Structures are given as C-alpha cells and as structure tokens.
A and B are shown apart, each in its own frame.
Chain A
C-alpha cells in the first residue's frame, strides 16, 4: 500500500485545490453582479412592507449578515466559516426556511437518483460496447447505429421522450414528483413503493443517455485491445478465449474509468436537467425554482454543493483507478 501514498496524496491535494477554487468562484461571481445585491434582496423581502423605516432596517440587517460592510477578504472568511458550519443563509423564495434545510431534503433525492443511474448506465454501456466489439457481425451492426443515435440526444430530450411515451401515452409511470402527492413521507410500504415507481422514469432517462455515450467509446477501445499483440500471444500459448476476453476488457476498461472521471461533470449536468423535466424533488428542481424565484442564497448553495459532489466523485473515481491499474502501483514503488 505504500506505493499508493504518493498517488493518493497527489489526488488529495488536487481535490483540495479545486475545492478552494470552487469556493472562490461561488463567492466572487455573484458579487460581480452589477447593482446592489442587498437592495435587490431587500426589495423582494420588503415587498409587503410599506414602512420605510422597516425597509431600511431590513436593508441594514442584510448588509450586516452578508458582511458587505466589511472588506472582501473578511467577507470571504465569513463565507467559508458559514459554509463549514452548515449555515447557508435563509432562502428567499421559501422564506423563512433556511437554505441548509432545503438542501438537506433535496440532496438525498439527487444522490440516490444520479449516483446509481450514472454507474449503472456506465456499466451497461461498457458491457454493450464490449459485446459489440467481441461478437461483431449482427450484434454490432444493431448496437452501433442505436448508440450513435442515442448519444446525440441531449439529456433532457431523452427525459422528455421517456416521459411522453411511458408517462403520458401509456400511463405506466407517473410524470412528476418523487412520490405520490397524497403521501406523507414515512417508512410504510405504500410510500416506499410510490417512491420506487416515481423513480423509474428519471432513472432510466439518465441510464439510457449514459449507455449511449459509453457504448461507443468502449467498443472502440475493445476493438483496439482485441487486436493487440498479447491477445494473439495468449492464444498461441493455448489459453482459452474466455480468459483472454477477460484480460481484454479489464485493459479496455481502464481508459473508460478515466473517461468517467473526466466526464462526470457533464453527466451530472445532464442528469440535473432530467430531474427538472420530471419535477423530481432533487437539486435540479430546487435549482430551477431558485432561479425562477431569484433566490440568490439558494442558487449559490446549490451550485456549491453540486460542484463539491462532482469533485468528490472525481476523486473517488481516481482512487478506484489507482487501485485497479496495477501499473500505478508499480510506478510508485521505484
């Protein structure tokens, strides 16, 4: 395990650096917005107010809580401190609900939906691509055009199509929400079943998009590997094809894992839109409502959380890669 230390540290440092950068971005960008954000916020909060003193006090209170009366660096420190203590401020569109509360209720829906969906889509896509490369002929000729076609669909496109076919026309699945509107979350079977049913369409939209993209890549990699010298040599030595195929896919898989790490940002982005299409109560939908309601604290918090999630996922994938590719360990030991 010693060999991994260098690799691990390397990736950890990177995670830290990008996280800092993400914080900076989340902090700086909205503050570059022209105009006085506090005035805009106050205007919204004070919509019902007619008392000008009350408005002025609200304005000053927000100034203070944002620390806008302090220098930038202090503001940033305040921001970081707030984030780490879980204080993301109060939401405007769902006033007076704290942002952290909104986040904690929607983040689990997103994680439970996207995480399995992306992984399963990746697995199925790679398997199909590998099979297409190995079986050739008929299977390949069918899978290839379908994959090309599907991979060109925008993520939300697939979501809409699935919704229309299975939700509206065939009425097999519900078209919106995370669970039935008439249900209150608890651990009853009825609730859980409703959740599962509502889970299907968003889940499969993300999976299908992921499959389309992966299948093509894996197929190319597999074809490349299947023609490699070591395949021929293993055959010369009398090793069975099954075993050889095992080698090939393990080798072809490695660049695919790296590819996953690189593209996870995009996949999450697409999956968020899919959530929105289905009004699924995850981060995507929350973000949409936040934007529509001009809820600055909420938007800022959601984008930060999404970025951090992607960064952590990226880190995890790179760690897994380090464990799987034996050459990493070998390269470290000398």
Chain B
C-alpha cells in the first residue's frame, strides 16, 4: 500500500523542482576538485560542504556542460562562480538558499515578477517532513520539501492557496494572504496508520470509518502461519475463527474441517441428510464477490490469496441477510497489475509425521495379565467353556509372549506423509488491459497409508479499463482426486491384541489372528484391492463491469456461472472380511457410484453514490442480487464380484438386490434487495445502516420475503483534537452495532408432507409401496439471530501497540431444531422435520493485542508479541414446556446433554461421583440430598462440567530482521471440561468384546484390586457396566505448538543479478506438540499429524 503511494509521489518529482542539501549559512569553506563532472554532482558537493541548500531545476541543468574545477578553501559563492563559469546560469541567494537560474536579458526581478515563497512543513511533533508536496492550488506548479522539511516556491503570487500533502498525513491548504514565508503542521492521517481496507465482498470500506467488527488478513500473513491451507492459517490468526477439533478424523486430508465464528447459532445437526447441505453453524464463504463453498476455500491455492476478511457482527454481515448469522468469510484473490510480464513460482513441501503419543496401550504381557484378571480364563465368568480349555488357551498365548511376540499395531497403517504443491502464476499488461493467470498442482499423502488427495487448479483473470468503463473477467478451473485409506479406521489397529503376530512366517497376511475366536486381522482387508475415491471438478466464470458515471456515482454489475461435478466410487472386494458370513457368492463384494452435480448462476447490480460535503461523507449503496443453485445426484450400487476383480462395475453379478438407483434433485433460488448507508462526520462520528430484503425458495410459499437490518455507530476518539495533540494515539475507535441476520444453511423445510417410493419393495400381491419421507410443518418459524457487538480498536505509539477488544451478544430466537435427536425418537420424525424451540444466547469477548517492544523501521527490526483470545458462554432459555417432558425422560438414561433453561448446550451432565470406595471397590455417588450411596440413581444427575473452554486463543511472537522473519504461535485452551470416553470405554465398561481388544494401560494398573486400594477406577473383576458419572469428566487445559515459522525474503543484490525480482524461503513446523491435562486418545479413526514444511517462492 504505502509503496504505491511513494511511487506516485516519485512521479511528482519529474514535474517539480528538485531541491537538495541543506541550509546553514554561507560562511563555510569549500574545497573541491573535479574533472568533467556533471553540474548536478558539483552542486551536491557544494551544498554538502557548504551546508547550504542549492536549488535548481533538473531539466534546466540536464544539458549543462561538464565541470572541471579545482578550488581550495573558498567561500560558497566563489565555488559557485567557478563552476558556473561559461554556463548559461546565474545564481541568486535567498536567505539560506541558493537558487540557480537562467540569466535573462531583463533583470532578475522581471524573470521573477512575483518573488519567492519559502516554507517549512512540520509534523505535529515539530519535526520537518521531508518529501512533502507543496502545490499552488489550481495549477501544476509546486515543489517538494527537502530533508529538513524546507521548501522554496519560485515566482508565485502571494495571494494564492497552497496545498500541502504527503503520504501518511492529511492534506492541508494554506492561504498565503501576502506572506512570503509560511510554516505548516501536518496531521498524521489515521487511516494510513491502520492502513486497512475492509472488503465486505460487495464493496470495500476504510476500516477507520467502519462500525462493524471485521478483521482482514493478507495472503502474506496467512503464509506466515503455514502453507497447508487457508483454513489452518486463519484459525491461528483470528481468535473468533474456530476450527472445532475433530477427534475422530484427526488429520485426514479428505475430511473438511468444522468451523464456527463466534460460537454457535444453532443446535448442531451432525447427521446431515444430503451431500449438498452444509453445517448449519458454518460461516458463509464469499470468493471474489460470489458465494462459495468450504470445499472451494479449503482447496484454494494460498498463493493466490490477496486478502481474507472475516465479518463477524450484524453491521458487517447484514449485507448477506438470510445467510449471515454465522459470520462471513470474504476471500479476495490477487488482481492483475499493469507492468512487464511477471512470472512467479511457489513450491510448498510438507512432511507429516503421525502423532501417536496419546495412545497408552498395553503390551502383550500386560494384556494377557489383564485378561486373566478380568476373568476371561475362568469358567463361568464370560463363558461356560471347560476350565481346561481356558487354561490351554491362556497357556498358548503365554507361550507366544514368551517366544517374544509383542506386536505394536499402531505403526502398521501409518506412514510419513508427504505433500508437494507447485504453483505458477504470471501477470502483466498495460494500463488498459491487464491479465493474470496461473496453475497449481498439489499432491498430498496423508499419514495413513493410501489416503491421498491430488488437487489441481488453473485461472485466468482479465481486466480491461478504458475511460469510465472497467470490465473484469475471471475464469477458474479446479479439481481433485482423493482416496481414503484401505486400512479403514485406525481404531481397529488400536484394538488389535499385541500377543498376535501380524504376518505368517512366510510374510503372508492371515485373515484371522485367532480363527477359533473369530479375531480378524485388521491388516487383511488392506492387502486387497479396494477403491474409496472421490473425484471433483469445478468450473466458474465471473464477469464484472464497473461504469463510473460521475466521480460520485458508479454502477456495477456482475454475473457468475459455475458448475461442480463430483463422482464418488467405492468398491469392496468379495474377499473382504465383512462378507465372511455371506455364503452366496453373488452377494459378496460391492460397488457404489454416486454422481453429483451442482450448477449455480448468480448476478447482481449495484449503484454506489458517494459524496463529501464539507466534513460530511456519505456513501450509499443500492444493490439487488439473484441466484439459483441446482443440485442433483444420481447413484447406483452393484453387488457380487468374482474373486480378484478390479472393481469394474461390469464385472459385478447384478445390481444390489432390492435397491433402486438413488437420485435427488433440488433447486434453490434467492433474490435480495439491499440498501446500505455509511455516513461519517469529520471522520469522527460514524454511522452504518443496512437493510436487506431476502427472498428465498427455501422460506416456503407463505413467507417468501424476509427483512433483515442492522445499524452501527462509531466514534473515532483518536481524532478528537485533545487526543490528537498527544501524538501517540494513531487510532482509537469505539463502535457498536445491532442487527438481525438469518441462517439459511438449515435447509429447505416444507409445509406439506412428502412421500417417496420405497426402494425396491415390490409386493407381488399389492404392488409398490410409498413411504412417508418427511412430515410437513406449516407452523415453522424461521431462525433469526439478533446480534449486537461493541468494540474498541486502537493503534498507539506509532504502531507499537495495536489491537482490539470486542464484546458480542448473539441471541437466536426462535431456534430451529431438527426434531430427529431433539425430540424423543418416538415422535417418529426424521431429520427432515424441524421444530421451533427455545432460544440460544451466546455472549462473549474477542481480543487481539499486539505489542512491539522493538519497532525500528530504519534498521528493519520489528519484534512483536501478541495474544488473541475468545471466551464465550451459551445459554438456553425459553425452552418452556416443549421439552420439559423430555428432560424428565432423560433421567432414566445415561445421556450427557440436556435442554434446560439457563444451561448451556456444552454442559456435561452426570451423577456426581465421590470416587471408588477403597473398602469395596464400588463407586460412591452423591445424592441430591447430600448423602452418599452405592446405587446409581438417574434422579441425581446434575451438571458436572462444560465442554466449552473458558478462554481459547493464540499467543504469538514474531521477529523480523531485514529479510528474515521468525514466528511462533502457541494455542492455549483453558478451562474446558471433557468427558473422557477413553476412561469410560477403554478403562472401565469393558465388555466381553472389549476384553478381546487391546485396552488402555490404566485398565490394568489403575483399577481397584484389594480392600484399602485408593484407586480411580473400579475393580477389574466388576463386569457390570458403569453409568456415566463425574468421575469421567475431567478438566482439559491444552497448549498446542500450532505454528513455528522461519522465513527469508530478498528482492535485491544477487537476486537481481539472477534476473529475479524476489526470492523467499519459509520453513514451518505445525502442530509440533500438544500438551493437555487429560489423557485420552486423539485421532481415533485417523491419526493426527505433526508436520514440517518448506516453501519457496521466486518471481521473475
């Protein structure tokens, strides 16, 4: 940003005079010896030695003769005379300045009828401002200040007005009113200090005049965290952008993350019924002005990102009305720039190491001991088999262990993952027609063998600008192929017993580890050929035209057409162990194929009017949008394959019996009308107002349109004169806003019931059957969120301290709750039925504080430490009678989540446990009346914890020294409780099947054994199931080494010699460690990874 301004200022130099050196006096002595030196150099030398300002016009002396002179210890005037000998110039002394001029036939006065004006340009704290432009208003005459802030304007009348401007300062006007000298104090321009523009996806706004809560990050900032994907970097940068940890899927490259911005607005519904729906708590993604998907953002090449803006509150998101409740993430890609052809290459390389440190499994002898203690080899405990048979089995296993068998299964399905991505882009063009284009390819191998993701993309952006018209076309093509690991779920390996060997002596993999007991070898299926693959291709083209009618009025129109196609193929070979019990060979093996297509068009038209009347700035936007999304999918499945086939569907014996091809088609249409007003008075008092009328086909025929609105107020306290005078406050802004937004992600609800044909059921006597697909709910009200947000933005001590504090309140009322899961299942409603129930209020704070103890721009050393954080609480209210019955029924069960007014969706419910009675090994429970009991009574269930962390955020530090940067980011989570399912399932509550599987070491060591033992867990010999109690709920504090980065960048020196414009390297370590107070297995289905990456970027 600031570089551009400098370059713009540099252009001014050409038409202005050049002023050099200083002004001290004419008493200095000069010694100078030159041969054939340019006149300018000589002037420079004289001004340096003589400590005077020698003022001349560049173009005037360009053709002057070279100077040869040799003077010793002469005065300034003598030296000047010497060098001007035979030159067509004279000089004139004007106080401390020496002005070089052409002699004219008339007197000097005639050449300079108006005389000179001398000025001084100072900053607010009194220092001279070098390089400021001083222009005569209404003309193109002017000059730049020298290093000390002095300026000389020749031959100007003294009744003119001067315009003094400089990058980083506010432009000021001065009327000379007859004076020939002036002094001006420039005020620092606040917006240049914060320097940030907010891109709302519809238009850009200066952050200083914006009343909403929004944060912007540049592509470079994302790259300082990691080079994996945008989502991973954004979560570290912004405290309110939270990626919900997925303990099952770990670091699976083919699992999309779950994202929340400022908590939930809806009770999450994980069992989404069709592939096109998205998580109802997920923010809206806008890519280059159009709605996009998480998938597209996840796969977007980071190197293309110019900026990302997160809109969090009503004032910033109400522009998106019905889709805005969860926040909006606006991604802008880099735009073409005029200039020579530039080519840039970025290579990203990453190694992923599986993180198995959270596993705490028994070894072979421990496991056998555990089995013995739990009664597996005692007749009548688990089995009625003869004791001698059990003894024999025990001894066989013992013999294996004695033989040295102690298999570590966890290492079997994992590998060192490697990812490489290459992206090339080029851009160039003249000021009328510019282009940028590029391609990228990445290949990612996950930490589980066989899981990978190959993605590719290409784009071309063209921008044409002529006069008042600006047309931009953006074409994108992308796609990926992803494969899931043939090893299946990682948990199967965590369960395999260590006293079995993986392979036969000859290296073959047996089907059974123990055929008599039906223990399968988890490796076996991975040795077979199987397919679990998704292929996706995406195409989009958008065209935008901007027509500037007058400087104040602009019309903008844009349209987008896109299509995404995905194909998911699964093939399970007939040899797979799941078909072991299926005798009919025509039913062994299966193949499924699903094809989905999503087509979207979208268009918008916007009129912007902006004007400034004295200190009043007004911007008005009126916009309308229209869009349609059509999703369709069709699929089929085949059953029965001969052994040894490659999964080609034509080799199957038949379609799966009693199935029909699956098919779904749904079309959604939206229209929207938007009006937005932004008003600022003197840049001090700010107002934002937005009104949006949204029409959507998902609203149902009775209520096609819904209004949404927001209003925000802001006060730039830092611009008040009493604070401005202090000098160390660059920005201090107080803002607040309130507004309504909606959530369209919840899907389409119908007011009528729908039926579908039962798949494949044809009763020969009565024909086809229809089944009730969903029950209509004509009374459903749409979910609306009333959001309010209050924030303080600050930049102090010339960028040494900056940050923001925000308080927010999101009240969603009424909640739309999927009946399936929220109501007792006996209501019989599936996930297509939604009900209104209660209200969810989320209140919280976000903050981001950055302090730079070292901030030396001249030496290019900046050291910054920062902390970001978010804390929020959610509360239910107004659930009222609807779910009262439900809560009573819950008491009969051992569930953990309640809907109760005043409680949070993240509360954990159980009976309070007082631990294990040392005398008996049984659990002691606390009754509601305060007494202790051995008997578990569901009536004693209370809230025992809350899974939401009290505070979560990132502590970061970065050091920049010349071309080097070093960054570290630690995530902290404080105060959340967790229900430790490991303790519940792998230490206690181990069923018969559980005894057959490997378990946590604590199941052997930490359980009660004899009277007097103070143990956390019940006796091994107690086989009865343990109800959920507070004993399994633990406080979980975490510190995660999320990102470490070392970077180097250079754009001069030897880089230039290699004909490169710049070269940079980055090294990253991501998720290096994960410290937590709770000991539990992480990444149960797919392990987590620690990664180390390397990135290189070169532009030519």
A, B assembled together:
no
Interface residues of B (CB under 8 A from A): none
